[in-house]
Copies of this chain bind each other. A is one copy, B any other.
């Protein structure tokens, strides 16, 4: 029986070249060298490197401005001013959430991303509209990538009465995780917010992903409170800290203690490289056993004019900032933007291996290190055996 699809003339991450990858029913059924087996469809990769699909672990699909004419950054330079600007700007854009989120999803896919965790703003001004838009975009692209949605109380929980109830409604409406934000700095009530989030998560049997921008000792205080509740609620392995800038602003001894605490209760960290903030000590965290993964965060949206949705470019920025240069460290970095991220998102099967879903991409590079270092354009992107992008452009279903 000929295979559904065979990719020939492939370079594999282990260094083999002239290899072939056979795909049937959306899964990899053979990887080999020598004469390629017969197939209904054969695609010659021309020596391109085959890598497993990328994971973008922190996005704001609902805030993007892709699909609209260029939109000059409008928010004043504070987090609270941006939160207020969002309330004014986002509901009045010429393009709705689903259309904008879809534009961004297609750019993610075109760059080889297979798995996305996005936040969707849950706040009184929007009700569940942002969530519903993101869920619509997710459904429209379910043949091209997975999308996991965090119900994100961008404007705070305790400071805006009614938000907790809205978060509860969001979980019932299809959100995958409970979100949170700076329990001290935004809500001025860490106990109130964290008790609320963990109760919601317990009620719905879902994980938590909390934005923690708070600096140094304030952020560490919040982190300690989070970890204590993870233990109390038996939520080991189901809670993520987004950003965790505080970890970059601590003395080494306290960084190590915080890392050990996170590892003990299985709290993971997702980073975009910290921009102008203090970067968490990713090496210290990994050595302590903390699961570290990466996301693009804001991509051309109401918060930032930067970004193009490329997780390999993101990896190169993060690696450059943490001074990782050797091939083994770049392989670790690739894990952080692919398999480690997939694991954090609960994706059971990931990797270019026989039996796994054929979720992969190709690019003109010799090694994983080169794929990150120069992040050349992606040639072919497959999701569960289906070609979803070619030469940097999304292929319509």
Selecting from A191-199, A217-225, A319-327, A341-349, the interface stretch reads A319-327
Asked if A260 is at the interface (CB within 8 A of a chain B CB), the reply is no
Q: Give the chain B neighbours of A35 by CB distance below 8 A.
A: none
CB pair A308 B275 closer than 8 Å: no
Smallest distance from the beta carbon of A43 to chain B beta carbons, Å? 22
Q: Residue A305 contacts which of B70, B322, B373 (CB distance < 8 angstroms)?
A: B373
- Please measure, in the bound complex, the distance between the C-alpha atom of A48 and the C-alpha atom of B41, giving whole angstroms: 37
- Please measure, in the bound complex, the distance between the C-alpha atom of A313 and the C-alpha atom of B73, giving whole angstroms: 19
Q: Residue A308 contacts which of B69, B300, B307, B375 (CB distance < 8 angstroms)?
A: B375
CB pair A73 B321 closer than 8 Å: no
Q: Residue A325 contacts which of B77, B326, B367, B375 (CB distance < 8 angstroms)?
A: B77
Q: Give the chain B neighbours of A375 by CB distance below 8 A.
A: 308
Asked if A370 is at the interface (CB within 8 A of a chain B CB), the reply is yes
- Please measure, in the bound complex, the distance between the C-alpha atom of A308 and the C-alpha atom of B373, giving whole angstroms: 8
The residue in chain B whose Cβ has the minimal distance to the Cβ of A73 is: B325
- Please measure, in the bound complex, the distance between the C-alpha atom of A69 and the C-alpha atom of B15, giving whole angstroms: 12
A294-325 interface bits toward B, Cβ cutoff 8 Å, 1 = contact, 0 = none: 00000010001111100001001101111101
- Please measure, in the bound complex, the distance between the C-alpha atom of A317 and the C-alpha atom of B274, giving whole angstroms: 11
- Please measure, in the bound complex, the distance between the C-alpha atom of A367 and the C-alpha atom of B321, giving whole angstroms: 28
Asked if A103 is at the interface (CB within 8 A of a chain B CB), the reply is no
Smallest distance from the beta carbon of A337 to chain B beta carbons, Å? 14
Asked if A161 is at the interface (CB within 8 A of a chain B CB), the reply is no
Q: Residue A276 contacts which of B70, B73, B322 (CB distance < 8 angstroms)?
A: B322
We find that the number of chain A residues with CB closer than 8 angstroms to chain B is: 37
- Please measure, in the bound complex, the distance between the C-alpha atom of A317 and the C-alpha atom of B365, giving whole angstroms: 23
Known: A276-B321, A305-B330. A70 touches B370 (CB 8 A): yes
Asked if A72 is at the interface (CB within 8 A of a chain B CB), the reply is yes
The residue in chain B whose Cβ has the minimal distance to the Cβ of A367 is: B70
Copies of this chain assembled into the complex: 2
Smallest distance from the beta carbon of A367 to chain B beta carbons, Å? 5
Asked if A265 is at the interface (CB within 8 A of a chain B CB), the reply is no
Asked if A374 is at the interface (CB within 8 A of a chain B CB), the reply is yes
Smallest distance from the beta carbon of A126 to chain B beta carbons, Å? 23
Asked if A230 is at the interface (CB within 8 A of a chain B CB), the reply is no
Asked if A369 is at the interface (CB within 8 A of a chain B CB), the reply is yes
CB pair A72 B327 closer than 8 Å: yes
Asked if A189 is at the interface (CB within 8 A of a chain B CB), the reply is no
Asked if A132 is at the interface (CB within 8 A of a chain B CB), the reply is no
The residue in chain B whose Cβ has the minimal distance to the Cβ of A304 is: B325
Q: Give the chain B neighbours of A264 by CB distance below 8 A.
A: none
Q: Residue A320 contacts which of B275, B366, B369 (CB distance < 8 angstroms)?
A: B275
CB pair A69 B366 closer than 8 Å: yes
- Please measure, in the bound complex, the distance between the C-alpha atom of A305 and the C-alpha atom of B325, giving whole angstroms: 6
Smallest distance from the beta carbon of A106 to chain B beta carbons, Å? 14
The residue in chain B whose Cβ has the minimal distance to the Cβ of A371 is: B70
CB pair A307 B373 closer than 8 Å: yes
The residue in chain B whose Cβ has the minimal distance to the Cβ of A323 is: B276
- Please measure, in the bound complex, the distance between the C-alpha atom of A375 and the C-alpha atom of B69, giving whole angstroms: 16
Beyond the given pairs A72-B327, A73-B327, 5 more chain A to chain B contacts, judged by CB atoms under 8 angstroms and listed by A's residue number, are A70-B366, A72-B369, A77-B325, A304-B325, A305-B373
